[in-house]
Amino acid sequence: MTQTASPYHSLHMLLPRSSTHPTQLPNKREKRIMMLSDKLSDMMSSFSGNNIDHYYAQLSAIQCDINLVLRADPYTDGPLEDGSEDIATLIASAREEVCRHRPIAINGEQSFGALCGRYYTRFVDDINAAMEERDRDLTMEFVSRYSEWYVTGSR
C-alpha cells in the first residue's frame, strides 16, 4: 500500500517553519490572574519595604481599642452608646491619645484609621446584647412570679 501525498501535505512541507509559536493574546482569565499577581507583588513589596510602619499601626490600633474598652462602663443603667457617630467620636479621642504618645508614620496612618475601633464596636455590641438578654430574663421572671398577685390583688 502506497500512500499518495496530498497537495496540502506537500504544500505544508514546502512552507518554512517557525521555531517559535505565534503569540496568543491572553484571555480574560489570564488577564485577571496577571492583574491579581501584579497587585499581590506590589502589596508584598510595599509591606516588605516598610513593615515596621505597618506593625506600629496595628499596635496603635490595638492600643486604641484597649483604651476604649477600659474607658467603657458596662455597669450603668442603660446600654452603651452604639451609634456610629458616638463611636466615631470616642475613636477619634482615643486615637488622639494614642498618637500623642507614639507618632504614626504616613504609610501606617492609612491602615491605622481603618483598624482603630474594630474590636471596640464588637465589645459594645456584645455588652448591649448581654444587657438586653438580662433585662428580658428579669422581666420574664418578674411576670411569672407576680402575675397571679396582679390579677387577684392578693399576696
Q: Can you read off the three cell numbers belonging to residue 148?
A: 397571679
- Supply the pLDDT for residue 7: 53
- Residues of the chain with pLDDT > 90, as a percent, come to 17
pTM strictly above 0.75: no
Residues 110-128 have a mean pLDDT of 81
Q: How many residues does the chain have?
A: 155
- Give the CA radius of gyration of the chain: 34
Average pLDDT, rounded, for the chain? 77
CA distance 115 to 109: 10
List all residues 6 or more positions away from 141 whose beta carbon is below 8 Å from its beta carbon: none
